[in-house]
Amino acid sequence: MHSPDTQDIETPSANLILNKTIWKIDSAPKIKHFLWKLVSRSLSTKDTLKRRHIVRDSVCVRCCQREETADHLLFECPYAQQVWRGIGLMRPSLLDPLLSFEDKLENILLDPILLSSHRSHQTVLWLLWRLWKSRNSLIFQRKAIHWRSLIRYVKRDVAEYLYAQENSQEVCQNRGNGLFTRATRNEVWKRPSQGWMKCNFDGSFHSRDEKSAVGWIIRDEHGIYRGSGYAKDDKPQTALEGEFQALTIAMEHAWVRGYRKVIFEGDCKELINLVGNTSLNFGIYNWIQEVWFWKSKFEEAVFSWVPRTANKVADMIAKRRMPSEQSSYFYSHIPMFLYDVIHNDLVDSVQ
């Protein structure tokens, strides 16, 4: 006999199409697992936690206006809507109050237009996952990620996933031809050519109200460490401005230390395209001019994009917490927290 006080058992989704589709989707395992938790109603949103008597408050931590359901978190919250609009994937169905959450998921995951573009379909998947991850950062780390930064992270996730896919396909083809290539060969840091220095840089942007942190490291043609640095500078308006800030600071330090033939390498493809004149963005014209000003001081300066896996050292420096009163620091010797990753770069690098 079912007691009135007995808590209802949550049943898996009755949407058979979604249940069958999520495991066939071409994406990363963590994305499939996340979608499964969404469809099976096991994602730990605040309404679910309240229903299980784990928390008392189920209000959305972002807008503080509505209960945090999966539908609200991923589609209805003003923050989520900014992200969907900003990335150009907003659909009227996402805001339709008559549609169930599962129907919205089905509409956007099985949209024939999105499915026709592998990149667009991956963008939807990674966007959903990033919205959930940013919510967790806000709750557990008290880090508010600006919606423009989240869009940048989504685009970077998609670019890296597609890059890894292409690399894996190339490895499989080489194996089929009796050749063997390391799957990570194009994803590791590489030494510069003879006579050149390489400066990897990265920016860490959280919000407009916080100063941007930047990290950079210089190594020579043999992969030998020549110094690295950390700095906090002005509060950038966007994540892209934070990356430009990192590049200009890295260029300044490289020039001051007497290096005149330098490859500046970062993992922000948009920045590399802008300084290389392959795309336009008049909103950051002054930043581009600043980069060109520093470039004119070098004998030769080259700007190169690499995936994040080949820019790990700069990324670690930029994200490392420093004393609040310390606005900059130069490491003349390899710091302990970088020793392992720099050693791995040296071992993996190729001439």
330-348 residue pLDDT tens: 999 998 889 889 988 888 8
- For residue 229, the cross-strand partners are 216, 330
CA dist., res. 228 & res. 314, Å (int): 8
Is residue 24 domain-shared with residue 109, that is, in the same domain? Answer: yes
The number of domains in the chain is 2
Is residue 143 domain-shared with residue 82, that is, in the same domain? Answer: yes
Is residue 335 domain-shared with residue 235, that is, in the same domain? Answer: yes
157-171 residue pLDDT tens: 888 788 766 655 544
Residue 10 lies in a domain: no
Q: What's the pTM?
A: 0.52
* Alpha carbon 234 to its chain's center: 22
CA dist., res. 199 & res. 263, Å (int): 6
Q: Is residue 227 left, alpha or beta, with left meaning phi > 0 and alpha meaning psi from -120 to 50?
A: left
Helices (H), the chain: 16-21, 29-39, 46-51, 70-71, 78-86, 101-109, 112-115, 118-140, 147-176, 239-256, 269-275, 285-297, 312-319, 336-348
Is residue 225 domain-shared with residue 336, that is, in the same domain? Answer: yes
DSSP codes joined into one string, 51-63: HTTS-S--B-TTT
Is residue 96 domain-shared with residue 197, that is, in the same domain? Answer: no
- pLDDT above 90 as % of the chain: 43
Q: Any idea what the CATH number is for the domain that residue 223 is in?
A: 3.30.420.10
| Residue 117's pLDDT band (cuts 50, 70, 90) | confident
Domain that holds residue 92: 16-159
Residue 177 lies in a domain: no
200-227 residue pLDDT tens: 999 887 555 456 789 999 999 999 999 9
Q: What is the mean pLDDT of residues 110-118?
A: 78
